[in-house]
Amino acid sequence: MSNGANALLVGGRRGTPAHASGTAWRERCALPLAAVAVAFTLAQLLLVRPGLGLGWDETVYVSQYAAQAPPAFFSAPRARGVSLLTAPVVSWSTSTELLRIYLALLSGAGLYLALRVWRPLFPDRVLTVAGAFFASLWVTLFYGPQAMPNLWVALGGLVCVGCFLRARADGRDPAALAGLAAGAALMAWMRPTDAVWLALPLLVLAALRHRGLGLLLLAGLTAGGIQWVIEAYIAHGGLGRRLSEASRIQGGLGWNLAVDDQLRGLVGRTLCRPCTGSLPHPVIMAWWFVLPLVAALGLVIAVRARRPAPTLLPLACATTAAVPYLFMIGYAAPRFLLPVYALLAIPVADALLHLVTRPDGRPRPVVAALTALAVAGHLAVQYAVLDRTVDRTTAHHRDWARAAAQLHRLGVRPPCLLTGADAIPVAYYAGCSSAAVRGHNANATEAAVRSTARRIPTAALSRPDGSPPAYARDWTVHRSPLLRLHIAPAPGRGRS
């Protein structure tokens, strides 16, 4: 066989040179995007650490199908997406480390797929920078391996908007049509109300020009949110009642300027409620103010290049997704804005690359050097905040684990019941049920708690500076580093 014939066969397909086949394989696999996704996954495992215990909200989501503990009370705003996402692991394993690794791998794969959707719309270099920016934010890294819904809303939003743009350009693109419905379903599966806010610009545009896409988008939102709606009628007295209850739990949705609350959260306050205290150092907040400015520059660049839609639509969706969390809620959590950051990442990356390169592709040395310095400073700030947040959160979760271990030593073992402060997370760690007689998670009465205490080991938890519930004032008190433990008399002994 001749050398030429050999060259034609090495690539694995007859008639395709080996170097051409290799180039085509790299093109199909989008290696730069895959590298970003792998780096994102590794960074989660190295910086967030699989040993980070489960947080309050995580224990609620995970407990629904967990082998570790009975299901915790599921309040009106929550959706079952995260519970189902984690069920393949938590239904048979109690290992938090295994759950973290599973979610880190899953979120890395999700980021790759979400960026890949945009390849017909932007060059790989833009998408690579966009993915690297989004993946390097402390809040993205922190929540990547956590059993929380917001990152998945962000990834679903990226898929949904990108596929809408592709289907708008080519209505016969089957991957785009399927991705549009799947992205909408993923968002609604995780947080139905967030999905509607993010999809509003798409729904408006579809109603004006692309009704077929609008129907497909609505079908995806319905498929993802139908369980939440059905549950509203089964457990909450109807959809209107559930929405009203969700609003009440979130402090009453209405005009609430929460921009300053979100700024306070940038220092690593995972839940800022009540959100008091001084604002963080300007160095910590700087990127948050620069981000919309660079995104606006990306829009200007796109308009001048006569390709506004792929930039304008994600900006519009980012804006509507941000509205409830910046102007309608009385507290803040940095994770609420993850969908906003994901959608802004592509216009921001486009603008940054435009700034550092000339039209002919050659770099602008001075601008590139200044941008590199700014990016290095940004990464340093993100890492510092992430490191402190992980340390602080790990310590808090260990306090819950210690309280659970102390309860076991005191005889409160499954089947058992915990009430009072931090009862939901401590109950998960202890393998107990949890109950509350008042507050957002109220699901029992004092009489029911007393009755249960006569049958199984029961404890009420209170803050060191607080007082126990009235029904637990004569129970035996023990101290832990975080809480006071009020232990009911052993079932069958004495009065509760």
Split at pLDDT 50, 70, 90, the class of 16 is: very low
Q: Which residue segment(s) compose the domain that 406 sits in?
A: 394-487
Of 475, 480, 474, 470, the C-alpha closest to 407 is: 480
Of 47, 346, 340, 320, the C-alpha closest to 197 is: 320
Distance between CA atoms of residues 47 and 476, nearest Å: 41
Percent of the chain whose pLDDT exceeds 70: 93
Supply the pLDDT for residue 455: 95
Would 472 be classed as within a structural domain?
yes
pLDDT value at 321 more than 70: yes
pLDDT per residue as tens digits for the range 410-468: 999 999 999 999 999 999 999 999 999 988 899 999 999 999 999 999 999 999 888 88
Of 114, 441, 3, 496, the C-alpha closest to 245 is: 441
Would 267 be classed as within a structural domain?
no
Amino acid in position 104: A
Asked if 319 and 348 touch (Cβ cutoff 8 Å), the reply is no
Would 466 be classed as within a structural domain?
yes
pLDDT per residue as tens digits for the range 378-409: 999 999 999 999 999 999 999 999 999 999 99
Amino acid in position 465: D
- Which two tokens mark 4? 């030429």
Number of folded domains that form the chain? 1
Where does residue 321 rank: exposed (0-12), middle (13-18), buried (19+ CB within 10 A)?
buried
Question: Residue 357 carries which DSSP code?
Answer: B
Write down the residue that tokens 């909450």 correspond to. Answer: 236
Distances (CA, A) of 107 to 126, 163, 245: 20, 19, 31
Would 478 be classed as within a structural domain?
yes
Distances (CA, A) of 17 to 20, 25, 29, 172, 441: 5, 12, 18, 31, 65
Distance between CA atoms of residues 82 and 336, nearest Å: 15
pLDDT per residue as tens digits for the range 335-344: 999 999 999 9
Supply the pLDDT for residue 218: 98
Asked if 314 and 343 touch (Cβ cutoff 8 Å), the reply is yes
pLDDT value at 140 more than 60: yes
Q: Is 195 helix (H, G, I), strand (E, B) or coil?
A: helix
Supply the pLDDT for residue 296: 97
- Decide which of 9 and 288 is more confident: 288
Would 447 be classed as within a structural domain?
yes
Would 383 be classed as within a structural domain?
no
Mean residue pLDDT of the chain comes to 92
Supply the pLDDT for residue 274: 86
Contact partners, residue 296, CB within 8 Å, separation at least 6: none
Would 467 be classed as within a structural domain?
yes
Distance between CA atoms of residues 106 and 39, nearest Å: 13
